[in-house]
Amino acid sequence: MSAEPSLNDHERALYSRQIRLPGVGEAGQLRLREAKVLLLGAGGLGSPVGLYLAAAGIGLIGIADPDKVEISNLHRQIVHGFDTLGLPKTISAAEALGEINPGLKVALHPEGFTVDNAAALVARYDIVVDGTDNFATRFLAADACVLGGRPLVHGSILGAAGQVGVFLPKAGCYRCLYPVMPDASSVPTCAEAGVLGATCGVVGSWMASEVLAVLLGKRQASRLFVIDVDAGASRSVSLSADPACPSCGPAATLHSLDKAAYAPVACPSPPIMADTPLEVTVEEARRLLSGPTPPLLIDVREPDEYAVCRIAGSRLIPMNSLSARLSEIPQDVLVLVQCHHGGRSMRVTQFLRAKGYARVSNLQGGIDAWSLRIDPKVPRY
């Protein structure tokens, strides 16, 4: 007869602070070690979810994501880094999670989560975590979890607002809230609306906490959390099964996954502008600005910063007012975007490219680099 499973001394030391919590203990930690979690998306939300689940001692994490790491991911997708640019996100994420917990088992699904594999993937795991950025995959995950009898933890972000949903079998599903998949054009994409990396951290960490709560048996009802990071507020919305729900109701009409029902509408990455570099050095910027057809130089700092120092000929359009002032930026000229050190201006450059501006580049190093290498008369701060 085999011995009862138990934690070893290494695990007791590693998870000692967690084991002390009411409702966890050694039995709960063993439950986490045996758990199999499917993570949909290794992006802004999947990054903190994956890191915290790995650190908590989850035994197996499956990662489904068809994308590769791009530079525009890095400010919020914290499992990736510059050394993994161009790699599949599944591989990059697996390496990062392994650094957090070398005993973790990771299953890679680089084909992503599709109609063809959804039912089989859901059946292999105890719980599904949806951190994707498009309606098609969200509804596919929700329906597959209902059909497979698996709990779903969902997260989404728009600007500084976020949602975390916990949907338990037979207790209310995603379609009880949103019966019909909306038109993708009705909500701005992540490239258009923008997002702070820290906001992804808040929502993703919350999602991880809910996953652990479900696995530890602390959740008996479905519910939705609505989070406003700017206001520092959140509220909980109770959820019960809708008798008219097309997915989980007694007269449900959804009994299988049909490709026609899930149009693949992904959140697009900013287009790559092959003829215009993403960044230019201050030396190249000086050459362009002194040429016969100088580019438009946009300073996206705040007015108080602009009052301290500026590059001659620059136009002040603070980053937070850019969306309202797009009409001031022509699309048929070369545009250089500049801030203090180059961080804010890079985000603006990516935003403008997503809006279709084909000739826009970031000024690498910002006005600080301009002062150090081009014009020392420009004050530094």
Would you put residue 316 in left (φ > 0), alpha (ψ -120 to 50) or beta?
Answer: beta
Q: Which of 190, 200, 245, 309 is catalytic?
A: 190
What is the enclosing helix (H) or strand (E) of 175? helix 174-177
For residue 162, the SS3 value is strand
Structure tokens at 250: 């007694």
The pair of three-digit structure tokens given for residue 55, joined into one six-digit string: 């650190």
Number of neighbours of residue 245 by Cβ within 10 angstroms: 21
Q: Which of 353, 130, 99, 143 is CA-nearest to residue 261?
A: 143
Interior/surface letters 149-183, b for 16+ CB within 10 angstroms, e for the rest = ebbbbbbbbeebbbbbbbbbeebbbbbbbeeebee
**Residue 339 among the catalytic residues:** yes
DSSP assignment of 121-132 equals: HHHH-SEEEE--
Sheet containing 233-238: order of strands: 105-109, 60-64, 36-40, 127-130, 152-158, 161-167, 223-228, 233-238
Per annotation, catalytic residue among 145, 176, 245, 339 = 339
Q: For the chain, how long is the longest CA-to-CA vector?
A: 86
Could you confirm whether 267 is annotated as catalytic?
A: no
Strand partners, 333: none
Residue 42 CA to residue 184 CA, distance in Å, equals: 21
Q: Which residues are catalytic?
A: 190, 339
